[in-house]
């Protein structure tokens, strides 16, 4: 019985050990150095492939013609704006409960990227809507929800930047993230409900069509490309900020002198 429990706890143990190891700034910095090229080249590979395939080789849509190709920008960015929020929520918990300061720093970077993804989703959504519905903006449930998500991101970023003390700012922004997390489903539900009052039975232009395989694959590839890109940027910026925050430490001095910046 004991052997069985030990077998299951080993991978969990190593995971925790890894987490605590990585929570130390110096270890994090040196370990992630190798990750950067993976993310970078992954993004530079998959983004052009996915978007190029979607732009030129996927068959045009029956209803929307070639305009539907905007989906290869809109869906990945919208999806990432949401999933980055959950990443932020996870990092918030790491910061507030386990007091891992590095998590707070990363959360700030994730917030910036998440906001940009939400912005991209909104703009591509608007551009997509113009030929389809004749207006640059419609108070569609999904677009409105995305707009509110952007506003929440901006509120989090504003909260963080209002404080000069980074530790304080990170913690308060983390609380904002968690409050936003609880409020998001409520907001989502209320916006969708509000929208039914106005749209009635009209189908949203952004309702997910039954997407055929030749259209789906480039979507997945560009989604992967975007995700790798976001990971790359977040890691890059986080490492940069880490050097600045920890500049009083000896390991930073070593890094600078060895030219590893």
Partner 1 sequence: MNNLLSLWLRQCQREWLLHLRQPKNLLYAAIFLLMVMVFFPLTLSAEPRLLREVAAGLIWIAVLLAMLLASERLFQQDYEDGIIEQWLASGEALGLIVLAKISLHWVLNILPILLLCPLFALLFNLSAYEMRILMLSLAAGSPAIIFLCALAQALSTGIKQKGVIAALVLLPLAIPIMIFGSASLRAAMQFLPVNGYIAILAALSVLAAVFLPVVIAMIIRISLAD
Partner 2 sequence: MSHLMMGGYALYVWSAYGFAAAMLAIILVTMTKRRKQTRKLLQQWFKQ
For 214, the token pair is 């030749």
Q: Closest separation between CB of residue 65 and partner 2, Å?
A: 4
For 159, the token pair is 């909260």
At residue 34, what are phi and psi to the nearest 5 degrees?
A: -75, -20
CB nearer partner 2, residue 55 or residue 96:
55
Per rule CB under 8 A, is residue 137 in the interface with partner 1?
no
Contact present, 166 and 134 (Cβ < 8 Å): no
**Cα-based angle 129, 110, 227 (whole degrees, multiple of 5):** 60
Binds 189: which of partner 1, partner 2, none (CB < 5-8 Å by kind): partner 1
Per rule CB under 8 A, is residue 176 in the interface with partner 1?
yes
CB nearer partner 1, residue 136 or residue 193:
193
Per rule CB under 8 A, is residue 90 in the interface with partner 1?
no
Per rule CB under 8 A, is residue 189 in the interface with partner 1?
yes
Pick from 151, 181, 205, 243: which binds partner 1 (CB under 8 A)? 151
Binds 183: which of partner 2, partner 1, none (CB < 5-8 Å by kind): partner 1
Q: How far is CA 6 from CA 11, 13, 15, 18, 119, in A?
A: 9, 10, 14, 18, 47
What does the H/E/C string look like for 202-222? Answer: CCCCCCCCCCCHHHHHHHHHH
Pick from 179, 181, 205, 243: which binds partner 1 (CB under 8 A)? 179
At residue 206, what are phi and psi to the nearest 5 degrees?
A: -100, 15
CB nearer partner 2, residue 52 or residue 169:
52
Q: How far apart are CA 38 and CA 72, in angstroms?
A: 23
Annotate 43-80 with b (16+ C-beta within 10 A) or e (fewer): beebbeebbebbbeebeebeebeebbbbbbbbbbbbbb
Pick from 113, 191, 233, 238: which binds partner 1 (CB under 8 A)? 191
**Residues interacting with partner 2, by CB under 8 A?**
47, 51, 55-56, 60, 65-67, 69-70, 73-74, 77, 116, 119-120, 123-124, 127-128, 130-131, 229, 233, 236-237, 240, 243-244, 247, 252-253, 256-257, 261
Q: Closest separation between CB of residue 257 and partner 2, Å?
A: 7
Q: Closest separation between CB of residue 103 and partner 1, Å?
A: 15
Pick from 16, 21, 57, 194: which binds partner 1 (CB under 8 A)? 194
Per rule CB under 8 A, is residue 82 in the interface with partner 1?
no
Per rule CB under 8 A, is residue 162 in the interface with partner 1?
yes
Q: Closest separation between CB of residue 237 and partner 2, Å?
A: 6
**Cα-based angle 22, 39, 172 (whole degrees, multiple of 5):** 50
For 233, the token pair is 């940027």
Per rule CB under 8 A, is residue 67 in the interface with partner 1?
no
């Amino acid at each position: 019985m004991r052997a069985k429990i030990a077998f299951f706890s080993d991978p969990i143990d190593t995971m925790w050990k890894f987490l605590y190891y990585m929570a130390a700034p110096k270890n994090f910095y040196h370990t992630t150095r190798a990750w950067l090229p993976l993310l970078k080249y992954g993004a530079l590979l998959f983004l052009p492939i996915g978007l190029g395939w979607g732009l030129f080789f996927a068959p045009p849509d029956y209803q929307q013609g070639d305009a539907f190709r905007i989906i290869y920008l809109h869906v990945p960015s919208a999806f990432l704006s949401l999933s980055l929020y959950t990443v932020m929520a996870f990092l918030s918990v790491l910061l507030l409960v386990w007091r891992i300061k590095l998590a707070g720093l990363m959360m700030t970077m994730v917030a910036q990227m998440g906001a940009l993804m939400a912005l991209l989703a909104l703009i591509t959504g608007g551009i997509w809507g113009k030929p389809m519905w004749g207006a640059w903006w419609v108070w569609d449930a999904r677009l409105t929800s995305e707009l509110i998500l952007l506003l929440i991101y901006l509120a989090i970023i504003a909260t963080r930047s209002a404080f000069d003390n980074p530790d304080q700012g990170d913690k308060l922004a983390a609380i904002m993230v968690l409050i936003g997390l609880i409020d998001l489903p409520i907001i989502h539900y209320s916006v969708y409900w509000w929208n039914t009052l106005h749209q009635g039975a009209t189908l949203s232009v952004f309702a997910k069509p039954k997407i055929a395989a030749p259209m789906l694959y480039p979507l997945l590839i560009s989604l992967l490309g975007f995700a790798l890109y976001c990971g790359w940027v977040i890691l890059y910026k986080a490492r940069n900020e880490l050097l600045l925050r920890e500049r009083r430490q000896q390991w930073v001095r070593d890094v600078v002198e060895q030219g590893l910046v």
